[in-house]
Amino acid sequence: MTDSAAMTYLLALSDALAGESAQVRGDIVAGVREELEGLDAEQTAAKIAELGSPAFIAASAREEQAPVRVEPIVQPPEIGAPLPTAEPRWLSLVAAVLVMLGGVVLPVIGWVAGIVVMWTSKAWMRRQKLVVTLLPLSISVIVLAIAVLVEMWSGGVHGSGLEGFNNPLVPTIFDQIWVAIFVALFTGSATGLWLLATAKKD
């Protein structure tokens, strides 16, 4: 090999170090050039063989500068600081208000919307959500059942001569339906208030 072999090697080395900082690239190329200067062809070939390929030298430089892997340290939360949560606080507030007043503003639909939002929130336990969902429905069904029974009873007793006579002191079926609706609205509002009072704050 001749000086041109040394030049070729240095150019290839410089190219291989293209990704490194100018400081490191310059230092390495200059350091290798020192070793190749003034050598004859045979000595140059031997030195290049000893140095290794430009790609190997560049890989060594990259490896040396690779950052040391450090596991992130998870800091415990400060005492008294709120725990991180993925749920915004307004979600539980919206759910409680919808359950409380939704049925009044927009009958049935408003209350159902509140129930849906409540089930998406993590501010309450599953058991509490079940109570809020089923209580107004259950009470309404019970009130309606009582109304039907009363209507059947108030229809008169056979053989008493009072068939077809409606007792004015006994509410009609329509009165009972209104009562059931009122009870459902009242129960919905009460459970909404309960949700508001018991929502987890963090």
Partner 1 sequence: MTVDVATQLRKGVVEACILGLLERDPMYGWQLSETLVGQGMIASIGSLYPILSRLKAQQLVTSYEVSSDAGPTRKYYRLTAEGERHLDNFRQQWALFVPAVDTLVAPTTKDNTHD
Q: Which residues lie near partner 1 (CB under 8 A)?
A: 17, 20, 23-24, 27-28, 30-35, 37-38, 51-52, 56-61, 63-65, 68
Least Å distance, CB 134 to partner 1, is 58
Least Å distance, CB 61 to partner 1, is 4
Least Å distance, CB 39 to partner 1, is 9
Quick one: 68 or 197, whose CB is closer to partner 1? 68
Tokens read off for 93: 């507030």
Burial of 79 (0-12, 13-18, 19+ CB in 10 A): exposed
Quick one: 12 or 185, whose CB is closer to partner 1? 12
Choose among 85, 87, 97, 90: nearest CA to 196.
97
The type of residue at 194 is W
Least Å distance, CB 53 to partner 1, is 10
Choose among 128, 127, 137: nearest CA to 96.
128
Radius of gyration for the chain, computed over Cα atoms and rounded to the nearest angstrom: 42
Quick one: 45 or 135, whose CB is closer to partner 1? 45
Contact 16, 58 (CB under 8 A): yes
Quick one: 27 or 151, whose CB is closer to partner 1? 27
Quick one: 57 or 95, whose CB is closer to partner 1? 57
Question: % helix / strand / coil in the chain, to the nearest 5?
Answer: 65, 0, 35
Quick one: 30 or 170, whose CB is closer to partner 1? 30
d(CA 132, CA 187): 9
Least Å distance, CB 130 to partner 1, is 52
Least Å distance, CB 115 to partner 1, is 55
Question: Between the CA atoms of 118, 119, 125 and 127, what dihedral angle is there, to the nearest 10 degrees?
Answer: 110
